[in-house]
Structure 1
Amino acid sequence: MTTHVNNPRFSNKEHNGMTKQKRTVNKSAALLISGALLAVAGQASAAGGTGVPVPYRISSDCMVCHGMTGNNTIYPIVPKLAGQHKGYLELQLKQFKDRTRADQNGQIYMWPVAQSLDAAKIKELASYFASQKPAMQSSGVKHAGIKEGKVIFNQGITNEQIPACMECHGSDGQGAGAFPRLAGQRYGYMVQQLTYFHNGTRVNSLMNQIVKNITVAQMKDVAAYLSSL
């Protein structure tokens, strides 16, 4: 005779509670995804309103992380591209394509995307994002260290051999040509990239030399200042 015994691990009350919790988690995930899709849809509408044709690669690949206008607000370590300099964008896409820009997120996300880009497509994408308005601007989030970061950006720290960032990126962080605009860029992205330059994960002979003596706290201060502009 075989006796069927109910699983003693969970009571009916506990089982019902776990089911309810699972439904809550699923509902939260669905709301998050819906919010992301609505944000992208809103950016698509904004892009359509500029009168600038949207390249196919934007709507098929780039919008997933950067949004249709390059002003994505979903992922903190994804850079804003709207209003960035065309020369800088072209250079980065070329480096992702030939795999000379090898920071971790670049390898994971940008290497696969860039492989199918030829010179004409690279120019098209760079021109599109550079033309987007409004240009990069502060998110309104204020991080600690803005005052200290402003000093480092404008004056550097002579006794620690840290040059002033404004010498290349401009007095207002606006950049020029191959020097990217940093004003209003994402705090998390800038801290991440300064870390990559500091440890050599992202190779750029000029930046590797400039930030070799910078501390993590100083990186955060500079990022706090620039993201506030």
Structure 2
Amino acid sequence: MIKNVLIKLCFDGRDFKGYQYQLDQRTVEEELKKAIHEVTGEDNRIIACGRTDAGVHARSFYVNFLTASNVSPNGFAYHIQPHLPDDILALCSREVGLDFHARFSCKSKTYKYIINQEKNPHPIYRSYMENITYKLDYDRLKEGLEILKGNHDFRLFMKEDKEVNINTNRCIDDCYFKRKEDRLEIFFKAESFLHNQVRIMTGSLIELARRKTNLEDFRAYFDPESKVRANPALSPVGLYLWEVEY
């Protein structure tokens, strides 16, 4: 009997070239596919909730796959864990309907970007937080986040690729920031994001909060006539896929 199994994962993205398989590169998908094959003996097609770039981490990440294996769906996380590397953890698993699709059934994803504001950060944080010590105007940061909310054409907030012709309209359901001592955490929630969109939005917000960009220029990123791209993407080290909702 064919079953559709959903697995919840988390991973440390430091030593991966992202989630999606790439020839001669270490990826989360490749490691996961090998682990599932060890358990099922099948060449399973794995569907992911999305993609992450090289160096990006995930606190919550979902995949599903069809299998004829006799392994209990609830037991898959347990059975594949011994075959996974130390930087991937299978948290839990369960059976879902045959029409479930980890990507298209997703209602929203929340990303968190962590910025360390210490003058002399501990070296252990280098792969897990962006370090920014500039003085920031948090009122301006809040104003910028309010501008990003809602439906917009985010074509100037994505990685530039002239050969890709896609719909660049996205809806930011919510975005906000939290401060914890020397940490600044910025959250973005939406059904989907463009390539590098979160990192570019964060970089643009930081430039706004540094007063290197004014609010008028920030709003101009949504001007259909504008060709001035938003600020370059911040490093992937501070970015986490934080929550996925179905």
Instruction: Work out which of the two has the higher radius of gyration on C-alpha atoms and give 1 or 2.
Output: 1
Scaled by the length of structure 1, the TM-score of the pair is 0.27
Scaled by the length of structure 2, the TM-score of the pair is 0.26
Q: Which structure features the higher share of helix residues?
A: 1
Q: Which structure features the higher share of strand residues?
A: 2
